[in-house]
């Protein structure tokens, strides 16, 4: 995944031409280099995307639970992610640039070796059709490039560079789960909410984004007024999510205690309902190991499906 930068030479009537796609497509060295670059990039992107998703999940959980201890962790985590993203983008851009320089130099050596002075770089497809004139020498150039020992040495040096390490800070436990142990049971807050009230969560998010944009338009010339308005809208957004968190917590309490007709609808799952007593909502990803005890998220979701009373409440809310 890199771009071969070529410089077009203008001749009145060139005898030969080559295309970027033609040279790259026929070059084994180009293909292998592209594969190495893509492999490295894919691993980095997966790590960055996973961390970004975890932070978003943690932020949603902090709002649903209205937990200030968790909220204090969000900004430093976001800043850490942004720094990592920038470092890897800068490194990747440099790698791409160096690849392009190395291949361009090799291409120039190849055309010189072939004695092709009257040759132009062109595009097979453009706004006004093909700009290619003369005989296509792309494959012949690629064959010479693949034997270019200087190019291979330059590429080996570029590929030997170490990508910036990704070292994420650990999530910090909070007092609300400090006293839990391996005998406790928990429900993953974000997962449970996203499975239960997805439409409601999406609407709250969209309403906030709309209000934020409106505040920006209303106070385009007054930064202080905009910041105040944005802060107010963020507070409303967080309050709405906190209300949804209370709603979900009440549902679990009802199911666990057989309230509001739940017990009748859950006779087949009475043992499962008993296991939901005294569960707590954990805001962290399960793989963080900060959620102590046994994961009862799936049990809670299944039990909820068997409670027609609460399913009606949820359908109304969504």
Count of beta carbons in the 10 Å neighbourhood of residue 229: 18
- Average pLDDT of the residues in 305-311: 80
Bridge-based pairing state of the strands 119-122 and 135-136: unpaired
d(CA 67, CA 245): 11
The continuous run of DSSP H or E covering 305 comes out as helix 297-305
Q: What is the pTM of this model?
A: 0.81
pLDDT at 311 over 90: no
Report d(CA 69, CA 234) in Å as an integer. 18
149-159 and 28-64 helices, crossing angle to 10°: 20
pLDDT in tens, 67-86: 999 999 999 999 999 999 99
Confidence of residue 192 (pLDDT cuts 50, 70, 90): very high
Q: Which two tokens stand for residue 152?
A: 């291979």
* Pairs from 28-32 (Cβ < 8 Å, separation ≥ 24): 28/146, 29/145, 29/146, 29/148, 29/151, 29/152, 29/155, 30/4, 30/103, 30/142, 30/145
Average pLDDT, the chain: 85
pLDDT digits (tens, 9 = 90+) for 35-64: 888 888 898 999 999 999 999 999 999 999
Question: Residue 6 pLDDT > 50, yes or no?
Answer: no
């Amino acid at each position: 995944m890199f771009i071969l930068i070529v410089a077009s030479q203008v001749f009145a009537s060139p005898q030969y031409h080559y295309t970027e796609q033609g040279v790259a497509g026929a070059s084994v060295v180009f293909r292998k280099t592209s594969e190495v670059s893509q492999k490295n990039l894919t691993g980095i992107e997966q790590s960055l995307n996973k961390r970004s998703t975890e932070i978003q999940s943690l932020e949603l959980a902090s709002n649903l639970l209205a937990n200030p201890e968790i909220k204090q962790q969000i900004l430093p985590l976001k800043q850490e992610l942004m720094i990592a993203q920038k470092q890897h983008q800068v490194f990747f851009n440099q790698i791409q640039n160096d690849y392009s320089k190395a291949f361009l130099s090799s291409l120039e050596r190849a055309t010189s070796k072939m004695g092709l002075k009257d040759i132009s770089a062109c595009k097979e497809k453009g706004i006004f059709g093909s700009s290619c004139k003369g005989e296509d020498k792309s494959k012949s150039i690629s064959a010479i490039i693949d034997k270019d020992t200087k190019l291979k040495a330059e590429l080996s040096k570029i590929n030997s560079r170490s990508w910036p390490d990704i070292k994420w800070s650990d999530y910090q436990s909070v007092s609300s789960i400090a006293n839990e142990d391996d005998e406790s049971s928990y429900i993953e807050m974000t997962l449970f909410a996203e499975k239960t009230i997805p439409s409601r969560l999406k609407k709250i998010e969209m309403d906030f984004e709309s209000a934020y944009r409106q505040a920006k338009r209303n106070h385009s010339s007054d930064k202080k007024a905009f910041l105040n308005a944005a802060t107010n809208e963020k507070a409303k957004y967080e309050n709405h999510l906190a209300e949804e968190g209370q709603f979900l917590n009440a549902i679990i309490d009802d199911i666990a205690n057989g309230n509001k007709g739940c017990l009748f609808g859950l006779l087949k799952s009475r043992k499962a309902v008993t296991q939901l007593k005294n569960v707590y909502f954990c805001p962290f990803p399960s793989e963080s190991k900060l959620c102590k005890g046994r994961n009862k998220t799936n049990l809670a979701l299944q039990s909820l499906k068997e409670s027609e009373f609460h399913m009606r409440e949820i359908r109304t809310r969504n």
